Amino acid sequence: MLEFYEPQADFGTPEIESETMVTLSIDGADVTVPEGTSVMRAAAEKGIKIPRLCATDSLKSFGSCRVCLVEIEGRRGFPASCTTNVEEGMQVVTQSSEIGKLRRNVMELYISDHPLDCLTCPTNGDCQLQDTAGEVGLRSVRYGFEGDNHLVAEKDESNPYFTFDPSKCIVCSRCVRACEETQGTFALTIDGRGFESKVSAGQSEDFMDSDCVSCGACVAACPTATLTEKSIIEAGKPEHSVITTCAYCGVGCSFKAEMKGNDVVRMTPYKDGKANEGHACVKGRFAFGYATHKDRITQPMIRESIHDPWQEVSWETAVNHTAKRFKEIQSKYGRTSIGAISSSRCTNEEVYLVQKMVRMGFGNNNIDTCARVCHSPTGFGLKTTLGESAGTQTFASVAKADVIIVMGANPTEAHPVFGSRLKRRLREGAKLIVIDPREIELVNSPHISADFHLPVRPGTNVTVLNALAHVIVKEGLQASTYIEDRCEMDEFEKWSAFISDDRHSPENTEQFSGVPARDLRAAARLYAEGGNGAIFYGLGVTEHSQGSTAVMAIANLAMLTGNVGREGVGVNPLRGQNNVQGSCDMGSFPHELPGYRHISSKVTRNLFEGEWGVTLDPEPGLRIPNMFDAAIDGEFKGLYCQGEDIAQSDPNTQHVETALSSMECLVVQDIFLNETAKFAHVFLPGASFLEKDGTFTNAERRISRVRKTMPPLSGKADWEGTMALANALGCKFQYDHPSEIMDEIARLTPTFNGVSYAKLDKLGSIQWPCNDHTPAGTPVMHVDEFVRGKGFFAITEYVPTEERANRKFPLLLTTGRILSQYNVGAQTRRTKNSEWHEEDTLEIHPHDAEERGIKHGDWVGIKSRVGNTVLHADVTSRVKPGVVYTTFHHPVSGANVITTDNSDWATNCPEFKVTAVQISKVTAPSRWQERQKMFNTQQQHLLAKARH
Amino acid sequence: MSAKKIDRLVKMVNQISLNMRSNGEEDFVAVQVSEHLEKFWSPPMKNLISEQIDKEDLGLTSISYSAVKKLAAIQKMK
């Protein structure tokens, strides 16, 4: 998939789906295309290029530039081929002397108000205006350049990633339309009329001051150098490209990494990528600079104590030292005294190898993954009810949804490319129900307004879900035939009796949830009766003490209304990180082997034992919180932590820090000295996604290739580092390429039986299950029957969290994410994305702020039962009274210093979303923040000693 | 054995029982809770609570007590 650089093919107007085909003649050649296709696209599909400027196949045809004129037999004049649809028997001519003359005249007008600096222009050789001038044979401009023009219009350099040079603008509106149609933000407009027409961000603001979210869709759409990436201005045109998969959120966008030598100069979203179809966000498209940031550590390091300076060593020394330490610990404290945590940021092949090393080399099942702290309840809940621990749909399926529930998720911030798809469907008329304590963007944004916003009080999701089901059952709105055909009827009857109880009525649950009964009833009727109903949910559902119950309640709702098993419906967990689904699939939980098969199954163990040549422990190992507790109890002494920053991302930071400080050998493999690494004894340098081969599996179960664009800076990709450590422990791993690891996964995992790198290269991506029954993968799950056979309605009793607000802690803190930053921020904080979000702030309602004498921007102390921290206040009505909100992207914020040890009853997923707090005005950082600052300075000093 | 450690386990079992309590009759739920512990808890956790159950009043709810008794029986057979 290494290619010389070529812009992606552009057919001019979007692809049309129709069962009726139309045949026409273009330049004497017969072409057959779906009804509704434009003449321009029909020509392009036959390989006939019609010059154009305002048309591109990601946007609806517009017909403003008049360059794409053609002749059509029987029609007067010269219709624009972009806005003229094909008709049966149509005879089209795309080239004639008259057409040529008209096109030249049009181009002449454009060029008369355009700088003639092609040789020094940053898009020289990659400019549609330049190409089109050449195609139409423009040789001179008769009008001169002395008259009124826009050639001295001032550049807007405010955006850190691209420039806006209006002197080069031809006002084709592609950028404006991309902002509207592709991204759905409506930040751009054409201001003025006639000669005064100009592209304007917001109310003639700079791009940075406008509503622009820097997705880059406008830059990609621009046919001139008006909107140009600064990286291209600095480095010039790329010379080759590699198709790979984004390493940020669970959308899993496909990109062409456009390169000059080993340097990425631009990330262009890949049009054939099925998760994103050519769109991207500010993180995936622009925030790749962290991969070569000066903070990267590229040499293995060891030290005896965390108060010692680091010592740089070879890979061989580092892994041998680690293996020796781990063996010593096991010999002293027992076989189960060590374990590992793998990461959803690493590839499938890498997380597979980590769990294999733990089970073979450590001889236990002490392997857990960061999905523990995000979507472990999804695994439990969906497996219990539907039979598979995964979402049911493709992202594209939302285009067929009629009623969409978004619960505990904020797609426009955390899954922006899916957020844009969702907005498109909403603009087309789909109904929207938002269940969230905050007024997220989808509740009210340009051309979108939620039909219902149910502002649930943190911790009471289950009451709302139960009440929705209660209304549907009591009002007889359930899909009875579907339930009878596809679900366990005994269990349904039992559940039906449970949910019909009056305690689940909206009028009774309102006291807990704060959601008005009338709105809830109306929302339930809309979901049950509004056509295809699709539910999308996120960590606002899972990260509760009842997270698993809420997931099961969501599955119940979908089954109850017959909304599982076809396009446009389903249960869709929006995964936080790029490979959450994959890391769970690969056996990263302490009780499961790859493919979600319990470790106690002798048949499954025999399969792996046969392949690996060892005897496996049949008992579950420790979960992450169990590891921390055991470490503090002195029973767990060694940890290999790959690509995960548990010191920042896990709850009750001081508890985590105590656990990490109790370890005798903490090994961290990462690209930076993250917060966890500051407690480590061994540091193994990690590789960014640009430095390795592998696969990621996104939230749609879509397995996509990650392809190496440059050699690993440390000399080893992460899978090679793990292999070296495993072999130092006595395992005999022998892989020359990650494709061999995938072959092993496929041999051992029924849902992956048909997956191979060759097939991935051929198909582009595959949604598992992929096996003999479904050789091309499975876009929609549970089509004819549920994976478990009959659907299971689980009883979903509401059990209030123990974390209650009271007089001492009267407010409820909930946490979330922001568009420009990603997770703990280790990557995005090392990019210019920080210009949008330099610090985490505390959102507080004006009423709560006024009561405490807090003004916007004040320092405020946030105190919970376990700790306190200090942030600046953001006084806003996005949160309702009684609720405060923050993000956790900066270590110094200490957001998790205040979150508690409470966790989901079934999976121990932490209850990040509910913490009782008190807020007060303060003048200084918290003690923890002071300590963190000192500790960080000390650790940076110890690192500096190793590097000099 | 630290008091804190067993308290933690007791809290976890009670939380599981509370969330499963509406699944059916008490005996039925106790079996489900016991199966959950067997499926997801590591051996040291299972062993500790099984060993401690009759030594003192741990504060287990009625369902939790029955569940841990069943778990202890399974552990004994291993």
Q: Counting beta carbons within 10 angstroms of the beta carbon of residue A816, is it exposed (0 to 12), middle (13 to 18) or buried (19 or more)?
A: buried
At which residue do the structure tokens 């030249």 appear?
Answer: A104
- Domain containing A674 equals 315-375+580-732
B5 vs A contacts (CB less than 8 Å): 629, 633
- Cβ(A222)–Cβ(A122) under 8 Å? no
Mean pLDDT of A15-35: 97
Calculate helix-pair angle for A718-728, A348-357, nearest 10 degrees.
10
Q: Does A598 touch chain B (CB under 8 A)?
A: yes
Q: Compute the distance between CA of residue A684 and CA of residue A763 in angstroms, rounded to an integer.
A: 35
The two tokens of residue A746 are 């496929």
pLDDT at A896 over 60: yes
ipTM: 0.97
The number of beta carbons lying within 10 Å of the beta carbon of residue B61 is: 17
Q: Compute the distance between CA of residue A212 and CA of residue A188 in angstroms, rounded to an integer.
A: 8
Interface of B with A in 5-44 (CB under 8 A): 5, 8, 12, 15-16, 18-24, 36, 39-44
Q: Which residues contact A193 (CB under 8 A, 6 or more apart)?
A: none
Mean pLDDT of A759-767: 96
Shortest distance between the Cα of B42 and any Cα of chain A, in A, equals: 5
If asked whether residues A539 and A670 sit together in one domain, one would say: no
B64 vs A contacts (CB less than 8 Å): none
In a domain, A574, yes or no: no
Q: Which of A336, A549, A622 sits opposite B19 (nearest CB)?
A: A549
Tell me the CA distances in angstroms from A708 to A290, A485, A826, A854, B60, one per residue in order.
16, 48, 21, 50, 54
Which residue, of A534, A564, A594, is where some domain finishes?
A564
Q: Compute the distance between CA of residue A184 and CA of residue A396 in angstroms, rounded to an integer.
A: 16
B74 vs A contacts (CB less than 8 Å): none
Q: Does A905 touch chain B (CB under 8 A)?
A: yes
The number of beta carbons lying within 10 Å of the beta carbon of residue A139 is: 8
If asked whether residues A541 and A660 sit together in one domain, one would say: no
Tens of pLDDT, residues A100-150? 999 999 999 999 999 999 999 999 999 999 999 999 999 999 988 788 888
The sign of the CA dihedral B28, B30, B35, B36 is positive
Interface of A with B in 476-535 (CB under 8 A): 494, 498
In a domain, A356, yes or no: yes
Q: Compute the distance between CA of residue A509 and CA of residue A323 in angstroms, rounded to an integer.
A: 55
Q: Compute the distance between CA of residue A581 and CA of residue A574 in angstroms, rounded to an integer.
A: 10
Q: Counting beta carbons within 10 angstroms of the beta carbon of residue A304, is it exposed (0 to 12), middle (13 to 18) or buried (19 or more)?
A: exposed
**Phi–psi pair at A721, nearest 5 degrees:** -65, -45
- Cβ(A846)–Cβ(A880) under 8 Å? no
Q: Which residues contact A290 (CB under 8 A, 6 or more apart)?
A: A671, A688, A826, A827, A828, A830, A831
A590 vs B contacts (CB less than 8 Å): 42
What was the pLDDT predicted at A3?
A: 65
Tens of pLDDT, residues A547-588? 999 999 999 999 999 999 999 999 999 998 999 999 999 999
**DSSP, residue by residue, A676-690:** TGGG-SEEEE---GG
Q: Compute the distance between CA of residue A185 and CA of residue A90 in angstroms, rounded to an integer.
A: 38
Calculate helix-pair angle for A517-529, A461-474, nearest 10 degrees.
60
pLDDT at A925 over 60: yes
Q: Does A906 touch chain B (CB under 8 A)?
A: yes
Q: Compute the distance between CA of residue A717 and CA of residue A642 in angstroms, rounded to an integer.
A: 12
Q: Is A416 helix (H, G, I), strand (E, B) or coil?
A: helix
Q: Where are the beta strands (DSSP E) in A733-810?
A: 765-767
Tens of pLDDT, residues A400-448? 999 999 999 999 999 999 999 999 999 999 999 999 999 999 999 999 9
Which residue, of A732, A748, A766, is where some domain finishes?
A732
Q: What is the mean pLDDT of chain A?
A: 96
Tens of pLDDT, residues A263-320? 999 999 999 999 999 999 999 999 999 999 999 999 999 999 999 999 999 999 999 9
Q: Does A797 touch chain B (CB under 8 A)?
A: yes
What was the pLDDT predicted at A387?
A: 97
- pTM of the model as a whole: 0.96
Q: Does B77 touch chain A (CB under 8 A)?
A: no
- Cβ(A894)–Cβ(A869) under 8 Å? yes
Nearest to A365 by CA among A604, A546, A539, A551: A604
Q: Compute the distance between CA of residue A264 and CA of residue A689 in angstroms, rounded to an integer.
A: 12
In a domain, A111, yes or no: no
Q: What is the dihedral of CA A75, A79, A82, A88, to 10 degrees?
A: 0
Cβ A795–B8 below 8 Å, yes or no? no
B19 vs A contacts (CB less than 8 Å): 546, 549, 797, 799, 905-906
Q: Compute the distance between CA of residue A382 and CA of residue A338 in angstroms, rounded to an integer.
A: 30
Share of chain A above pLDDT 90, in %: 96
DSSP state of A283: I
B2 vs A contacts (CB less than 8 Å): 633
Tens of pLDDT, residues A235-261? 999 999 999 999 999 999 999 999 999
At which residue do the structure tokens 């340098």 appear?
Answer: A685
The two tokens of residue A159 are 């955006």
Provide the pLDDT confidence category of residue B2 given band limits of 50, 70 and 90: low
Q: Does A549 touch chain B (CB under 8 A)?
A: yes
| Angle at B61 (CA atoms; ends B60, B65), nearest 5 degrees | 65
Q: Where are the beta strands (DSSP E) in A322-378?
A: 338-342, 367-369
Q: Is A177 helix (H, G, I), strand (E, B) or coil?
A: helix
For A197, what's the count of Cα atoms within 13 Å in the CB-facing half-sphere? 12
In a domain, A625, yes or no: yes
In a domain, A635, yes or no: yes
Share of chain A above pLDDT 70, in %: 99
In a domain, A831, yes or no: yes
Q: What is the dihedral of CA A549, A908, A703, A258, to 10 degrees?
A: 120
A506: domain CATH number?
3.40.228.10
- Domain containing B25 equals 3-77
- Cβ(A703)–Cβ(A694) under 8 Å? no
Mean pLDDT of B1-20: 89
Tens of pLDDT, residues A466-507? 999 999 999 999 999 999 999 999 999 999 999 999 999 999
Number of domains in chain B: 1
If asked whether residues A553 and A591 sit together in one domain, one would say: no
If asked whether residues A542 and A464 sit together in one domain, one would say: yes
Tell me the CA distances in angstroms from A506 to A453, A518, A552, one per residue in order.
15, 8, 19
Nearest to B45 by CA among B16, B17, B5, B4: B5
Closest Cα in chain A to B4: A633
If asked whether residues A697 and A555 sit together in one domain, one would say: no
What was the pLDDT predicted at A946?
A: 84
Q: Which of A491, A546, A549, A626 to mutate to test the interface with B (most CBs of B within 10 A)?
A: A626
pLDDT at A751 over 70: yes
Which residue, of A676, A701, A732, is where some domain finishes?
A732
Q: Which residues contact A94 (CB under 8 A, 6 or more apart)?
A: A26, A27, A43, A48, A50, A70, A81
Tell me the CA distances in angstroms from A838 to A414, A783, A829, A841, A888, one per residue in order.
17, 46, 8, 9, 12
A328: domain CATH number?
3.40.50.740
If asked whether residues A604 and A718 sit together in one domain, one would say: yes
- Cβ(A621)–Cβ(A776) under 8 Å? no
What was the pLDDT predicted at B1?
A: 43
In a domain, A342, yes or no: yes
| Angle at A280 (CA atoms; ends A278, A286), nearest 5 degrees | 125
Closest Cα in chain A to B47: A619
In a domain, A369, yes or no: yes
Mean pLDDT of A841-861: 97
Q: Compute the distance between CA of residue A11 and CA of residue A45 in angstroms, rounded to an integer.
A: 7
Number of domains in chain A: 3
Q: What is the dihedral of CA A701, A707, A713, A714, to 10 degrees?
A: 60
What was the pLDDT predicted at A1?
A: 57
- Cβ(A210)–Cβ(A179) under 8 Å? no
Cβ A620–B36 below 8 Å, yes or no? no
Cβ A905–B15 below 8 Å, yes or no? yes
**Phi–psi pair at A452, nearest 5 degrees:** -140, 130
- Could you give the maximum distance between any two Cα atoms of chain B, in Å? 34
Provide the pLDDT confidence category of residue B56 given band limits of 50, 70 and 90: confident
Q: Which of B40, B61, B75 to mutate to test the interface with A (most CBs of A within 10 A)?
A: B40
Q: Compute the distance between CA of residue A420 and CA of residue A446 in angstroms, rounded to an integer.
A: 12
If asked whether residues A398 and A525 sit together in one domain, one would say: yes
B20 vs A contacts (CB less than 8 Å): 797
Q: Counting beta carbons within 10 angstroms of the beta carbon of residue A4, is it exposed (0 to 12), middle (13 to 18) or buried (19 or more)?
A: exposed
Cβ A549–B44 below 8 Å, yes or no? no
Closest Cα in chain B to A549: B19
Closest Cα in chain A to B18: A799
3-state helix, strand, coil in chain B (%, to 5): 80, 0, 20
Q: Compute the distance between CA of residue A748 and CA of residue A611 in angstroms, rounded to an integer.
A: 8
Mean pLDDT of A29-50: 97
Mean pLDDT of A624-632: 96
Q: Compute the distance between CA of residue A44 and CA of residue A500 in angstroms, rounded to an integer.
A: 59
- Cβ(A156)–Cβ(A207) under 8 Å? yes
Q: Compute the distance between CA of residue A837 and CA of residue A857 in angstroms, rounded to an integer.
A: 14
If asked whether residues A639 and A706 sit together in one domain, one would say: yes
A204 vs A88, higher pLDDT: A88
The two tokens of residue A699 are 């939230």
- Cβ(A783)–Cβ(A384) under 8 Å? no
If asked whether residues A913 and A839 sit together in one domain, one would say: yes
Shortest distance between the Cα of A200 and any Cα of chain B, in A, equals: 55
Q: Compute the distance between CA of residue A192 and CA of residue A683 in angstroms, rounded to an integer.
A: 58
Nearest to A811 by CA among A781, A850, A845, A787: A845
If asked whether residues A897 and A925 sit together in one domain, one would say: yes
If asked whether residues A402 and A551 sit together in one domain, one would say: yes
If asked whether residues A423 and A329 sit together in one domain, one would say: no
What was the pLDDT predicted at B3?
A: 57
